[in-house]
Structure 1
Amino acid sequence: MKLVYFFILTGLYYSYGQQSNFSEIDFKKADSVAQSYKGASLDNLPLLVYDLTGGFTTDVEKFRAMYTWVCTNIENDYGAYIRTSNKRKKLSKDREGFLEWNQSFTPKVFEKLLATKKTACTGYAYLIKEMANLSGLQCKIIDGYGRTATLNLNKDSNANHSWNAILLQNKWYLCDATWSAGLIVVEKDGPRFKSQYADGYFLADPKLFIKNHYPLDGTWALLESIPSFSQFIAGPVVYKEAFSAEIIPTAPHQMQLEIVKNKLVTFEMNAPSLVTKEQLSLLLVHNGATKEIQPEITINNNTYTLKHRFEQAGSFDVHLRYKDAIVATYVVKVKRK
């Protein structure tokens, strides 16, 4: 089993935040500046950083301009990700060999990134850190595990993802430029990158971020307590749409549920008060057929409880739906007795 190290949170690590802390700031100007330098060269990184940040007085707007630029100008290199994953697997039992390879690997990734504007998660995180540091901001690369609907993890999985922590106004914030930049779509000619900016991963709520980002160093979860790695990989799949809507699935804690027929199952989530009952539903997929269910819903402050009674035996993929988007997925196996 992988060793995951945990540390007691002290000092600044208790002081963390999320994008809503800056609700008084309109990021349109920062995004507009990033757009105005679309296609700019990486040959002179200090100059690019100055161009992106020179017109701002707040650190968060400076960081926003750089982050948006990276996410809308750097392409996710799926081939590089596969090659990196394969190398990590080969060295999974050779710690010294892995550390030696990893130390020499990042500069090579960055060199290729500068030349091609293509990279995998390591390159995104490294570029964000370099640009932030050049602007006078403190930024960290966080290594760990990323979990998606198509990426299954187990207790022996290797670390497969990197993201960043940024210090703004004496608080640490989390962000993932790789996942903000877009997604990999599979076509007849093979997988390709589709640019599609996702704002939800910018200064995300740590309580939501931990649902699909698990740091090797538990300090950088930015939470007073975090789930075990086993609990992390057993949890529901949480999608980027949950980040956009700021919806945090809180129960059940595990994705796979086993119940008996006619049992009532309760799903819970924390959501902004602007979310209404009419905007929430369940999508049940059973034997290839999809059915939308309007469950019994109660709201207590920002806690939304959805209840549904399973009256038919079988296996159901249960998708929690907000408006037209799926935010989380569970699997419910219903036994006759």
Structure 2
Amino acid sequence: MKSCLFICLLLIGVKIQAQQAHFKAVDFHKADSIAALYKGESIKNLPLLAYNLTTSLPTKVEQFRAIYIWVSTNIENDYWSYRKNKYKREKLQKDSLALLQWNRTFRAKVFRTLLREKKTVCTGYAYLIKTLASLADIECKIIDGYGRSVNTNVGTSSIPNHSWNAVKLNGRWYLCDATWSSGEIHKPANKFIHDYNDGYFLANPTLFVQNHYPLDTTWVLMDKKPTFTDFLNAPLVYKHAFSEDITPIKPQKMHTQIIKGEALVLLVKAPVTVNIQDISLELVKNGNSRVITPYIYPTNKGLLQIKYPFPKTGFYDVHLKIGQHYITTYTVSVRKK
């Protein structure tokens, strides 16, 4: 969590619509194996760690892959520090001097905890990725902005609450988020569980912007940039959208109003590996949920059109699922004619 600082960046030469697909021909097995070989290594000597992770890899993308995998699988998300920082920053957001002092104090604590315990918040992940990449002569930036989840930045904005990275490979800029790749907090026990998600590595900008909005919108890396209001009101997108490479296209807003008997129509971009028979909608109304099989039509543009006509009025949460995994959520108001 960084303070609301705009970072002055050299933006000339930023390329757009870069994503992991550009490196489909690259075999990352060696990079992943090297990251695994050095599992548990100390971070008190970062030049040595960067050397060990990258020296035997021939390309910059493989070197960055080894760094990214190592950070994502060796650093633990410090949930309690995140909660404390969130509470303090929200409390002090109208007192700029007190907020600045808190940010300085908290940053120092973040890096002490990172070095001592290998636990951190998003700022620490982004710092470690940038530092190791720079030691390997790979250009990398820390991007500050807004992360969106079920409880944050839905409809209304919070203060900036997240940091991630942009990395330059083969003359193009790519986006990645080692914090969200690393795993998740198991809420009942408030315990972090490592569960690597490759979808945030060199992510698709169109999908990435649905839950990452940078303070400097150059780092959206898209020709047509959504506004901050678009970001706040978009459908909720979950981690399995990234791991399955599924991008919601329409509706662009989370909330939709339709008439009884009218169909909700979703348009998503999905890889051919997705089995249409695994797609379902979970409808939640008044705390009661049921899973239905929608009508699904592949389009001539490589998209999937998903339709379900609502026979009854009411307010619904609509979850798009692949198997047991939640992909995205919409809300639907169904009214009488």
Same fold (TM over 0.5): yes
State the shift of 1:308 in Å: 0.9
Computed over aligned residues only, the root mean square deviation of the Cα atoms, in angstroms, reads 2.2
Decide which moves more: 252-261 or 52-61: 252-261
Q: 1:157 to 1:290 in 2, by over 3 A?
A: same
Aligned partner of 1:240 in structure 2 is: 239
Aligned partner of 2:65 in structure 1 is: 64
Aligned partner of 2:193 in structure 1 is: 194
Equivalent residues of 1:267, 1:305 under 8 A apart = yes
Equivalent residues of 1:71, 1:197 under 8 A apart = yes
Aligned partner of 2:272 in structure 1 is: 273
Q: Aligned with 2:256: secondary structure?
A: strand
Is it true that 1:249 corresponds to 2:222 in the alignment? no
State the shift of 1:255 in Å: 1.1
Q: Give the whole-Å Cα distance in 1 for the aligned partners of 2:166 and 2:256.
A: 34
Residues 81-230 of structure 1 aligned to structure 2 (within 5 Å): 81-95=82-96, 98-99=99-100, 101-102=102-103, 105-187=106-188, 190-230=189-229
Q: Which amino acid aligns with 2:150?
A: A
Q: Aligned with 2:27: secondary structure?
A: coil
Q: Give the whole-Å Cα distance in 2 for the aligned partners of 1:287 and 1:84.
A: 34
Q: Give the whole-Å Cα distance in 2 for the aligned partners of 1:136 and 1:4.
A: 25
Deviations 1:137-156 (A, max 9, x none): 11111111111123344544
Equivalent residues of 2:16, 2:222 under 8 A apart = no
Q: Which amino acid aligns with 1:181?
A: S
State the shift of 1:206 in Å: 0.3
Q: Which amino acid aligns with 1:60?
A: V
Q: Which amino acid aligns with 1:65?
A: A
Q: Which amino acid aligns with 1:328?
A: T
Q: Which amino acid aligns with 1:313?
A: T
State the shift of 1:97 in Å: 5.2
Q: Aligned with 2:249: secondary structure?
A: strand
Equivalent residues of 1:14, 1:224 under 8 A apart = no
Aligned partner of 1:335 in structure 2 is: 335
State the shift of 1:4 in Å: 11
Q: Aligned with 1:13: secondary structure?
A: coil
Q: 1:302 to 1:323 in 2, by over 3 A?
A: farther
Aligned partner of 1:297 in structure 2 is: 296
Aligned partner of 1:44 in structure 2 is: 45
Q: Give the whole-Å Cα distance in 2 for the aligned partners of 1:10 and 1:273.
A: 35
Q: Which amino acid aligns with 1:323?
A: G
Q: Give the whole-Å Cα distance in 2 for the aligned partners of 1:94 and 1:221.
A: 29
Deviations 1:146-197 (A, max 9, x none): 111233445441011111001111110101111101101122xx51111111
TM-score normalised to structure 2 length: 0.91
Deviations 1:255-281 (A, max 9, x none): 122222111111111122333432322
Q: Give the whole-Å Cα distance in 1 for the aligned partners of 2:166 and 2:201.
A: 10
Q: Give the whole-Å Cα distance in 1 for the aligned partners of 2:29 and 2:89.
A: 39
Q: Which amino acid aligns with 2:327?
A: V
Q: Which amino acid aligns with 2:336?
A: R
Q: Aligned with 1:86: secondary structure?
A: helix
Q: Give the whole-Å Cα distance in 2 for the aligned partners of 1:255 and 1:95.
A: 33
State the shift of 1:110 in Å: 1.9
Q: Give the whole-Å Cα distance in 2 for the aligned partners of 1:95 and 1:51.
A: 42
Q: Which amino acid aligns with 2:84?
A: R
Unaligned runs of 5+ in 1: none
Equivalent residues of 2:235, 2:330 under 8 A apart = yes
Q: Which amino acid aligns with 1:332?
A: V
Equivalent residues of 2:259, 2:336 under 8 A apart = yes
Q: Give the whole-Å Cα distance in 1 for the aligned partners of 2:64 and 2:261.
A: 51
Equivalent residues of 2:263, 2:310 under 8 A apart = yes
Equivalent residues of 1:110, 1:127 under 8 A apart = no
Deviations 1:203-228 (A, max 9, x none): 10000000100111101111112222
State the shift of 1:106 in Å: 3.4
State the shift of 1:319 in Å: 1.1
State the shift of 1:93 in Å: 2.7
State the shift of 1:80 in Å: 0.8
Decide which moves more: 66-75 or 92-101: 92-101
Q: Give the whole-Å Cα distance in 1 for the aligned partners of 2:320 and 2:218.
A: 30
Deviations 1:105-158 (A, max 9, x none): 434422320111000111111111111111111111111111112334454410
State the shift of 1:334 in Å: 1.6
State the shift of 1:82 in Å: 1.4
Aligned partner of 1:313 in structure 2 is: 313
Equivalent residues of 1:261, 1:336 under 8 A apart = yes
Residues 7-26 of structure 1 aligned to structure 2 (within 5 Å): 11-26=12-27
Equivalent residues of 2:147, 2:153 under 8 A apart = no
Equivalent residues of 2:16, 2:223 under 8 A apart = no
Q: 1:176 to 1:10 in 2, by over 3 A?
A: closer
Q: Give the whole-Å Cα distance in 2 for the aligned partners of 1:136 and 1:242.
A: 32
User: Among the aligned pairs, what percent are the same residue?
Assistant: 48
